[in-house]
Amino acid sequence: MGQRRDICQVLSPLNSLLDHLFSFKRGFHSGLESMRRIDQEQKHLHRYFRSIHVAGTNGKGSVCHKIAAALQEEGYKVGLYTSPHLLFFCERIRVNGRMIPEEDVLRLLPPIMEMGEGSFFDYTTALAFAYFAEQRIDFAVIETGIGGRFDSTNVICPILSIITSIDYDHMHLLGETLQEIAHEKAGIIKPGVPFLLGPQVPFLEGIRAPRSQSSFYDEENSLIAKKALQMLGISSPSILAGIKARPSCRFEVVHEKFVLDVAHNPHGIAKLISAVRFHFPGKTLHFFVGFSLDKDASSCLQLLAQAGSITCIGGKNPRLFTAHQLSSLAASFGIAAFASEHLELSGVEADIFVICGSFYLMAEARKSIEDWARGVD
């Protein structure tokens, strides 16, 4: 199927519809022709609300959540469109923090999929636009999927564009150099539309958010969101409330000794290690890691090996390295790593356990931690 079957698919009436949706190609570098046709058929529903468009290698999801929370605090009705989801497909589309109801997906998605040939992201993005327009939102905060120039979301004309960061990721799609990657991300910048750059975005010139002085990577996300909200004229109390928001599995500490984080590229892993050391000084660390096949797993493993011990985990998703493949890759760099196809928390000694890498690991990670907690209690 190429995409994961998740809890939402298995347990809800959305089963067959989402199976069909996930069977479509993700869609990239085919241009925006199919999305533009669907958008025209929809009569450009995204024009019924104001949009903030966010791209970037790392941090874009967190920045989107912070901006949406502040806008809601200000009294606006706010749509939030992000990807991928952790547990439920419906997480991708929210209004004032609430997921789109399953019955609305069942009602709105089939007609969209009949509007013409499209990709998974085309149809999902069109679903978000339809739901947001129907809900009469004031603002939508819209995260790109991959890149920007050819992303399905790039049919919108936002009131503000944001590029949070540029680093090596999805190189097989975006290019082998940072300059090529920056060119793809910069595709969301529109003539006459204000745009904001993260403090470390190279090759582009424009208004920049201030650089963080903290070792905690979320501080940089907060500064980007704060600057964006100031550009939008949002009040200081709403900004202060909003930037405290952080999505799930971004340095999420559970039961005081487990950290869940979806860092999955070298830049993200380096920031995660700094954050763990900052929050847990002097503690021994063990990393449970798993990566998608298109990630720079070798660089990530080398960084992690300098910080603690490692267990490579796989899983059933065909897009992931198997535990054996990942541990063999580690061994090729002289890194001793355990291997387990499933997340086993028992039998490993450390003060702090960090589960990081692919989004696809996080559902199993939560279940394993819950099982561990029940055993302790």
DSSP string, 127-144: HHHHHHHHTT-SEEEEE-
CA pair distance 367, 12, nearest whole angstrom? 19
Position 343 scores a pLDDT of 87
339 - beta bridge partners? 312
Position 7 scores a pLDDT of 40
Enter the pTM of the model: 0.91
Residues in the chain: 377
Position 265 scores a pLDDT of 93
- Give the type of residue at 177: T
CA–chain centroid gap for 249, Å, is: 10
Strands (E), 136-216: 139-143, 160-163, 195-197, 207-208
Give the N- to C-terminal CA distance of the chain in Å, as an integer: 39
Q: Which two tokens stand for residue 254?
A: 């559970």
Domains of the chain (ranges, CATH numbers): 7-242 (3.40.1190.10), 252-376 (3.90.190.20)
CB atoms within 10 A of CB 239: 24
CA–chain centroid gap for 218, Å, is: 14
Q: Which two tokens stand for residue 73?
A: 């605090």
Position 345 scores a pLDDT of 86
Position 344 scores a pLDDT of 86
User: Which single residue is written with the structure tokens 């013409």?
Assistant: 116
pLDDT in tens, the chain (377 residues): 334 444 443 445 777 898 889 888 766 556 799 999 999 999 999 999 999 999 999 999 999 999 999 999 999 999 999 999 988 999 999 999 999 999 999 999 999 999 989 999 999 999 999 999 999 999 999 999 999 999 999 999 999 999 999 998 888 888 999 999 999 999 999 999 999 999 999 999 999 999 999 989 999 999 999 999 999 999 999 999 999 999 999 999 999 999 999 999 999 999 999 999 999 999 999 999 999 998 999 999 999 999 999 999 997 778 899 999 999 999 999 999 999 988 888 888 999 999 999 998 998 899 999 988 887 54
Q: Which two tokens stand for residue 198?
A: 């993260």
Position 111 scores a pLDDT of 97
